[in-house]
């Protein structure tokens, strides 16, 4: 059943990724998708996965399926290569740095925001 959930989630995530590409062109689309996906996955992990708040099939459908296909390391790599081939060295270096550090920061912020909300709920502070 998990495989079906991941597949359905993958379809949804891919369509969302395609839609994001229509809204913002070029590497900035990939950057926005990867940073927002990192933030959401961090939050989702803290709020849902670690608490086992959803059945496993839904957890993998959302985490692996939707968010896994929404964010795209392969597109990030290709965008970086294209910038390098165009000798846009500063743009390429900036893009790679922002993607790496920004993705890690977004995941951290999302994860800790989810943990904070969970602690507030446990203390009765909504």
Residue 21 annotated as binding site: no
Structural domain including 19 reads: 2-122
Token representation of residue 97: 């740095």
3-state secondary structure of 87: coil
What are the φ/ψ torsions at residue 17 (nearest 5 degrees)? -65, -45
Q: Residue 120: what pLDDT?
A: 83
Tell me how far apart the alpha carbons of residues 110 and 47 are, in angstroms, rounded to a whole number.
Answer: 10
Q: What mean pLDDT comes out for the span 99-103?
A: 88
Q: Residue 119: what pLDDT?
A: 84
Q: pLDDT higher for 109 or 76?
A: 109
Q: Residue 30: what pLDDT?
A: 84
Tell me how far apart the alpha carbons of residues 113 and 126 are, in angstroms, rounded to a whole number.
Answer: 13
Q: What is the pLDDT of residues 4-56, one digit of tens each?
A: 999 999 999 999 999 998 998 877 888 889 888 889 988 998 889 888 889 99
pTM (2 d.p.): 0.74
Q: Residue 125: what pLDDT?
A: 67
Say how many domains are in the chain. Answer: 1
Residue 105 annotated as binding site: no
Q: What is the pLDDT of residues 60-87, one digit of tens each?
A: 999 999 998 998 776 778 788 888 989 9
């Amino acid at each position: 059943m998990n495989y079906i959930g991941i597949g359905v989630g993958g379809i949804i995530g891919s369509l969302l990724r395609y839609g994001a590409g229509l809204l913002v062109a070029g590497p900035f689309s990939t950057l926005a998708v990867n940073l927002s996906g990192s933030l959401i996955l961090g939050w989702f992990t803290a709020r849902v996965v670690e608490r086992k708040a959803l059945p496993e099939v839904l957890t993998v459908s959302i985490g692996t399926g939707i968010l896994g296909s929404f964010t795209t390391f392969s597109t990030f790599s290709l965008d970086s290569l294209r910038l390098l081939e165009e000798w846009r060295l500063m743009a390429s270096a900036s893009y790679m740095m922002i993607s790496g550090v920004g993705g890690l920061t977004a995941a951290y912020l999302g994860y800790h925001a989810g943990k904070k909300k969970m602690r507030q709920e446990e203390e009765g502070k909504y």
